[in-house]
Copies of this chain bind each other. A is one copy, B any other.
Amino acid sequence: MALTEKQPPHRVVIVGGGFGGLYAAKALGNAPVRVTLIDKRNFHLFQPLLYQVATGSLSPADIASPLRGILSHHKNTQVLMQEAVDIDPQQQKVIFPHGEVEYDTLVVATGVSHHYFGNDCWQPMAPGLKTVEDALEVRRRILMAFEAAEKEIDPQRRRAWLTFAIVGGGPTGVEMAGAIAELAFNTLKQDFRHIDTTETQILLLEGLDRVLSSYPPELSTEAASSLTKLGVTVRTNTLVTNIEDHAIEVRQGSQVERIASRTIIWAAGVKASAMGEILAKRTGVKLDRVGRAIVAPDLSIPDYPNIFVIGDLAHCADPHGSPLPGIAPVAIQEGQYLAKLIKQRLQGNSLPPFKYKDVGSLAVIGQNAAVVNLGTLKLAGPIAWFIWVFAHIYYLIEFDNKLIVLMQWGWNYFTRKQGARLITGEDSQIQTEISDRQSTKDRSTVEV
């Protein structure tokens, strides 16, 4: 025993501090291993609530927590703020722009980013929602659109400013559409003097025949009807064929239509982060259609039993052969399974394959409206909304700020105010926007 204990501890390197990576690191906190968690950001982001940052209900710090703080009491764990740019599976190293780190076991959990289906040129006109910066940019665009509309005297141009198009009817698109509706029809209702924000048009564009297509059809129907009640125009079977600076072109059947809109938000496709390609090149692991690494039942990759992929970057098949969805509960369970597996292996044992325990899925539509799919139990309406709230509070328990978020929500709920609707960014940028976005004859001249 004495000899074994003097061996240098097993080194686990985790790339990515999202749900998968963070929960793996947490579960290894009491294990006889040295853990290195690598992330290019210094915080873990609670992505399911990012849309609330984008619509001014929450601040970034409400849904982000410094990785060092979360892991500070795990003395076997270090956090490195680094960008992993390559791996060397033969030498067992992760490579940074300057420097490297050796591993005995490698966990890759770098997630996914946006996918514009081959139209990357659409990105500047239709930003997505993956990072804090994305969310602040979307917030800025939404709020600036109302400011610009307030100044605009041409009715057509004003209508374009008050038209918001959301591409993609998955959970993010549904949540964004609902939140913008609440902003326009409740929060901002009293704030302007020249526009009526209740004239805002919110389009939710979905290519398939229903929103929330990964949910049971009856919940899709419920979601669409709740959205309609909130004032959102839900358009299914509608494909985006082009995005320009001030307009979006859609096709429904054989009908092509050009809709003038100054604020377009991308909530459609995701693709694997760059680490997927790197893994494929270095280890030969197969990638699926969107670039996710196809992992073995124990989440390792073929021929490299000490390299694991978890979270959104992993293509892990469920019992029916389809990949598990890219949601937080899957990533969390994978991270926890993996920590257990590493601990068992160190003791010479093994574990049965990973099995996802379905905790259901949730999407929120607006205040008091959500859909919940718990398998046998399908719910919509206020009760679903409360389940949604408590599920999120439960997972936020990892965060220092859970009480603050709860308070903030309570406050927003009862006052229908949203305090975080600040337009921030570079001064120059804001000023350019203001000049750029207003018509030559300023509204203020006319009516004051």
Residue positions of A touching B, CB distance < 8 A: 11, 13, 34, 36, 40-43, 59-62, 64-66, 68-69, 72-73, 78-83, 96-102, 131-133, 136, 143, 147, 150-151, 188, 190-194, 399-401, 403-404, 407-408, 411, 415, 417, 419-427, 430-431, 434-435, 438-445, 448
- Given A68-B191, A83-B434, A430-B40, A61-B420 contact (CB < 8 Å): yes
In whole Å, how far is A249's beta carbon from the nearest beta carbon of chain B? 29
7 smallest beta-carbon distances between A and B, as pairs: A99-B442, A59-B59, A61-B420, A68-B191, A72-B190, A78-B193, A59-B61
- Given A132-B422, A404-B404, A411-B403, A438-B99 contact (CB < 8 Å): yes
What is the count of identical protomers in the complex?
Answer: 2
B100 and A444: CB pair below 8 A?
yes
The 30 listed contacts between A and B (C-beta, < 8 Å) are A41-B430, A42-B147, A42-B421, A42-B423, A43-B422, A59-B61, A59-B420, A60-B422, A61-B420, A66-B421, A72-B190, A78-B194, A80-B444, A81-B147, A81-B150, A82-B434, A83-B434, A98-B435, A98-B438, A98-B440, A99-B438, A100-B445, A101-B444, A102-B448, A132-B422, A133-B424, A133-B427, A403-B411, A404-B404, A404-B411
In whole Å, how far is A319's beta carbon from the nearest beta carbon of chain B? 38
In whole Å, how far is A75's beta carbon from the nearest beta carbon of chain B? 8
In the complex the two chains form, what is the Cα distance from A439 to B60 in whole Å?
30
A96, A98, A136, A441 — which one has the most chain B CB atoms within 10 A of its CB? A98
User: Nearest B residue to A190 by beta-carbon distance?
Assistant: B72
User: Nearest B residue to A194 by beta-carbon distance?
Assistant: B78
Of B13, B143, B438, B448, which one neighbours A11 at CB under 8 angstroms?
B448
Contact residues in B for A191 (Cβ distance below 8 Å): 66, 68-69, 72, 79
Contact residues in B for A445 (Cβ distance below 8 Å): 99-102
In the complex the two chains form, what is the Cα distance from A160 to B441 in whole Å?
53
A99 and B36: CB pair below 8 A?
no
Q: Given A66-B421, A400-B415, 13 other A-B contacts at CB below 8 A?
A: A42-B147, A59-B59, A59-B420, A61-B420, A66-B191, A66-B419, A69-B417, A81-B150, A97-B435, A98-B441, A99-B442, A131-B427, A407-B407
A78, A100, A419, A438 — which one has the most chain B CB atoms within 10 A of its CB? A419
- Given A408-B404, A422-B64, A448-B133 contact (CB < 8 Å): no
User: Nearest B residue to A78 by beta-carbon distance?
Assistant: B193
In the complex the two chains form, what is the Cα distance from A24 to B128 in whole Å?
40
Contact residues in B for A101 (Cβ distance below 8 Å): 442, 444-445, 448
In whole Å, how far is A16's beta carbon from the nearest beta carbon of chain B? 15
In whole Å, how far is A78's beta carbon from the nearest beta carbon of chain B? 4
User: Nearest B residue to A187 by beta-carbon distance?
Assistant: B69
In the complex the two chains form, what is the Cα distance from A13 to B445 in whole Å?
12
A34, A42, A194, A423 — which one has the most chain B CB atoms within 10 A of its CB? A42
Contact residues in B for A64 (Cβ distance below 8 Å): 422
A36 and B147: CB pair below 8 A?
no
A419 and B401: CB pair below 8 A?
yes
User: Nearest B residue to A64 by beta-carbon distance?
Assistant: B422
A133, A403, A424 — which one has the most chain B CB atoms within 10 A of its CB? A424
Contact residues in B for A98 (Cβ distance below 8 Å): 435, 438-442
In the complex the two chains form, what is the Cα distance from A415 to B333 in whole Å?
29
B78 and A190: CB pair below 8 A?
no
In the complex the two chains form, what is the Cα distance from A415 to B401 in whole Å?
11
In whole Å, how far is A408's beta carbon from the nearest beta carbon of chain B? 6
Contact residues in B for A147 (Cβ distance below 8 Å): 42, 81
- Given A73-B190, A98-B440, A404-B408, A66-B422 contact (CB < 8 Å): yes
